[in-house]
Chain A
Amino acid sequence: MVPELGQLTLILSFCLCVILGTLPLIGAGTGNRQWIGLARPLTAGVFVFLSLSLLVLGYSFVTDDFSVAFVAQHSNSLLPIQYKITAVWGGHEGSFLFWTWMLSGWMLAVAIFSKAMPDDFVARVLGVMGLIGAGYTLFMIATSNPFDRILPLSPADGADLNSALQDFGFIIHPPSLYMGYVGFSVVFAFAIAALLSGRLDSAWARWSRPWANAAWAILTIGIALGSWWAYYELGWGGWWAWDPVENPPMITWLLGTALIHSLAVTEKRGVFKSWTVLLAIMAFAASLLGTFITRSGLLTSVHAFASDPTRGIYILGFLGLVVGGSLLLFALRAPLMKSEFGFAAISREVFLLANNIILVVASAAILLGTLYPMVYQAVSGGELISVGPPYFNMIFVPLMAILVLFQVVGSISRWKKTSAEYLRRQLGLVAIAAVVLGVVLPLVVTFEFNFGASIATALGLWIILGILQDIRIKISNKASTVSGLKSLAVSYIGMQIAHLGFATILLGASLTSIYSVEKSVLLDAGETVDLGAYDFVFQGTEPVQGPNFVGDRATFQVMKNDVYQRDLHPEKRVYTQSGTPSTEMAIDAGFWRDLFITLGEPRESGAWSMTIHIKPFVRWVWLGAILMALGGVVAVTDKRYRRLRVKTLAGEETARSLKSGADKSAEALQPVSQQ
């Protein structure tokens, strides 16, 4: 009976979504206040019913209701309780319900935190999101119902959750990834609402920015968590595999990065409006494409859910309708957006545009590599090729290097116009210092010249020194450093934290790729292996028994220069229900390096095979992501975005008068600068 309740609330949320996607939109078009006023209550209704649906599914898992097909396929009575709950997103149907619920959560957030916006605009935003929600809920009801039953012959026990998913990473990675992914539909809805209302101005950009920043920050965390999880779960030290299913979030992230920068230009300078709208649509399309690829079985991937062409057709149809429709709307409405090119060839606008283009080129290249095998198969009549990490690295790394060059110049140059001379003066020394230190630092630490390491270090330092220089310029006219730092805008601080995060990722990713070492050996208990500055003493193994697995647990003593550091315990498990073997690595994480040990197989002699890795700087990859996300969050908290409507208008007045004041003072200064 209870699962049917979930089904019922799912159907009800679909109905509410349909109403939300029609009446408030029509109301906003015709000026019907009553219909506009429906948007917020309907949104709350969608959220409540979808929450109920999700709770029912969770309840079915917790109570081991194996008459529900989805529960029977993804749970087991012996499964620990936390994995029973998270098994909700352990398969296609449940994860889609979870995804849709996330959407309703974002909708509710928009409904609550939109007091500063005109009601008709909010009605349009929520209406567009309601349409998306209608598509998702219908998809579930029609093709992927998580509440389908196996009756009357229900299995006595479930098939168990995939052992790779019985892990802490699985508890946190999918929710954050989905939340970030889905967040881009908010920005998309803002863009469509703006296109519909013809209100594409700085105010629209200002309203969108916190949402874009929030979605981007959460997506950053989601992707980083996935990478961290893969790193410790896969057991061979990989942290990014360019898997076809990892690529769409990456594409979304890159487009999202372009979007938050373009939004900044649109808000501050009123230019690139149509470009910003296009980016908002593309980022959302990329998130839908990710859904499509994961759930249609289009490409083989470790992440793929069981494939089903009807699902693929449905999502593709939805994708075509939503994205095709929006792009058509864009093509028809874009001529209304008149952007004047009020900037010079060397200006912040141009550098930001260049960076935007590089980010979009990188996205397009990843998409090309991801879909190429499929196109090749279609064109060649069945022949297959593979496109994998070596290709993506070769394309992506140089593009990011160019991006970094522009990044620093862009953030230090001024709006409208910057002189080349000014840039040379501010950045000349930074560039020299970055190159010299980039060559010297790796040399001093490793006594060996490595071209890649030098380039990476130089680029990382270029960003970091560039940030310091920029802050120095910003506060140079203040009485003291402290008062200068205090005067920096919150969103500016957020930006620089995020940029620092990017430098950290760049350094971490490059240096760990270059300097990681590993060794595979066969050891008897009592034997020692040395790697780098460390000695690893293998003490032997002992059997372990978990709730749903059995295994062997090894003990290693880690020594550095004959000084005992700590013990490490890698494990080898077999999950009893499915018979799947699994390796649990032992990791000693550190700021400068990770040590980790993977246990292989015991040989007949009693010796064990094992691999020992030392991975310098690998933590920086995720640390950088955390900094980037933090930067995004800090920027969201800028008070600018939370002024009430009246104040916003007043604020714009102030800004305008300030600007004219600035222009006047600039005029007053003109003779001075010409002297």
Chain B
Amino acid sequence: MIFPALLNSPRKASGFLRTLLQIAALALLCMTSNAWSAIDTFEFENDEQQQRFRTLSNEFRCPMCQNTSLTGSGGGVAEDLRREIYLMIVDGKTDAEIEQFMLERYGDFIFYKPRLMTETLLLWFGPLLFLVLGGWIVMGIIRRARPQGQEAVVLDNSDQARLHKLLEKVDGQD
């Protein structure tokens, strides 16, 4: 939990002042979600708008917090951004327009779901790549896989029952 103001010069400020500043910064500015959850009482025209609001608030990051979405964060700029989203939704703006609005002001950092661009290709298609690789490995093993010796016997239920009885006899003899 570190306020940006303290990052650039934490070692330069004197010990006491630093502590004081840290406490003040904690208390006043960078509220993390667990300390304080602000509540907006927005009135939406319909459920669809409310749903969009919730989805969008979850997809944007609170820019000044450690790691929470706009939903999970109280106070400060997160509150203002939620209000902007609300106003834009009520104003009839599309999701794409709202995303553009955020992008112009806060950059890609604000998206919890990174946009698809050349630099994020690996991020978005990496898991698929892993899956294909994994599937390829499994295929390779299956191709080499052969039951030991002859074709194994396939037992149906009645065979299975008889086998179990036989096994139980062996068990009993032990």
Contact = CB atoms under 8 A, between A and B. Distances in A.
For the complex of A and B, the 6 pairs showing the least CB-CB separation, nearest first, are A388-B112, A600-B39, A365-B127, A390-B113, A357-B134, A477-B161
A590 to B, nearest CB: 22
Interface residues of A, number: 85
A662 B112 contact: no
Nearest to B146: A341
Contacts of B154: 417-419, 422, 673
A353 B138 contact: yes
B163 A385 contact: no
Contacts of A582: 34-36
Nearest to B71: A236
Interface string A196-239: 00000000000000000000000000000000000001111010
A241 B120 contact: no
A578 B27 contact: yes
B153 A669 contact: yes
Interface of B: 1, 19, 23, 26-27, 31-42, 58-59, 61, 66-69, 71-72, 107-114, 119-120, 122-123, 126-127, 130-131, 134-135, 137-138, 141-142, 144-148, 152-157, 159-167, 170-171, 174
Contact of B123 (A368, A476, A600, A611): A368
A163 B34 CA distance: 9
A521 B142 CA distance: 59
A289 to B, nearest CB: 17
B79 to A, nearest CB: 11
Q: Which of A304, A372, A667 has the most C-beta atoms of chain B within 10 angstroms of its own C-beta?
A: A372
A395 B127 contact: yes
15 contacts: A241-B67, A241-B72, A243-B67, A302-B1, A302-B68, A341-B144, A358-B131, A372-B114, A388-B67, A417-B152, A476-B157, A520-B41, A522-B41, A578-B26, A673-B159
Given A365-B130, A390-B112, A665-B167, 15 more contacts: A164-B34, A164-B35, A234-B33, A302-B1, A302-B32, A304-B66, A364-B127, A385-B108, A422-B156, A578-B26, A580-B27, A582-B34, A658-B167, A669-B163, A670-B153
A476 B155 CA distance: 14
A316 interface: no
A386 B65 CA distance: 12
A256 B114 CA distance: 29
Given A341-B141, A350-B145, A669-B163, A358 B36 contact: no
B68 A241 contact: yes
A544 to B, nearest CB: 17
A445 interface: no
Contact of A234 (B27, B34, B39, B166): B34
A2 interface: no
A159 B19 CA distance: 10
Given A341-B141, A344-B145, A368 B127 contact: yes
B145 A345 contact: yes
A354 B138 contact: yes
A417 B147 contact: yes
A395 B1 CA distance: 29
Given A384-B107, A419-B154, A579 B27 contact: yes
Contact of B72 (A238, A244, A300, A416): A238
Contacts of A340: 148
Contacts of A321: none
A662 B154 CA distance: 13
Contacts of A349: 145
A342 interface: yes
Given A241-B68, A344-B147, A163 B35 contact: yes
A388 B114 CA distance: 8
B70 to A, nearest CB: 11
Nearest to B59: A390
B23 A578 contact: yes
Contacts of B130: 360-361, 364-365
Interface of A: 159, 163-164, 233-236, 238, 241, 243-244, 300-302, 304, 340-345, 347, 349-350, 353-354, 357-358, 360-361, 364-365, 368-369, 372, 376, 379-380, 383-391, 394-395, 399, 416-419, 422, 473, 476-477, 520-522, 578-583, 598, 600-601, 609-611, 654, 657-658, 661-662, 665-667, 669-670, 672-673
A358 B159 CA distance: 34
A345 B114 CA distance: 39
Contacts of B107: 383-384
Contact of A384 (B108, B142, B163): B108
B155 A579 contact: no
B171 A658 contact: yes
Contact of B114 (A380, A385, A476): A385
A595 B119 CA distance: 43
Nearest to B135: A357
Contacts of A579: 23, 27
A383 B108 contact: yes
B67 to A, nearest CB: 5
B103 to A, nearest CB: 11
B152 A662 contact: no
Contact of A344 (B58, B66, B137, B152): B152
Contacts of A302: 1, 32-34, 66-68
A408 B82 CA distance: 44
Contact of A661 (B37, B122, B170): B170
Nearest to A380: B119
B170 A236 contact: no
Contacts of A360: 130, 134
Contacts of A666: 153, 155, 163
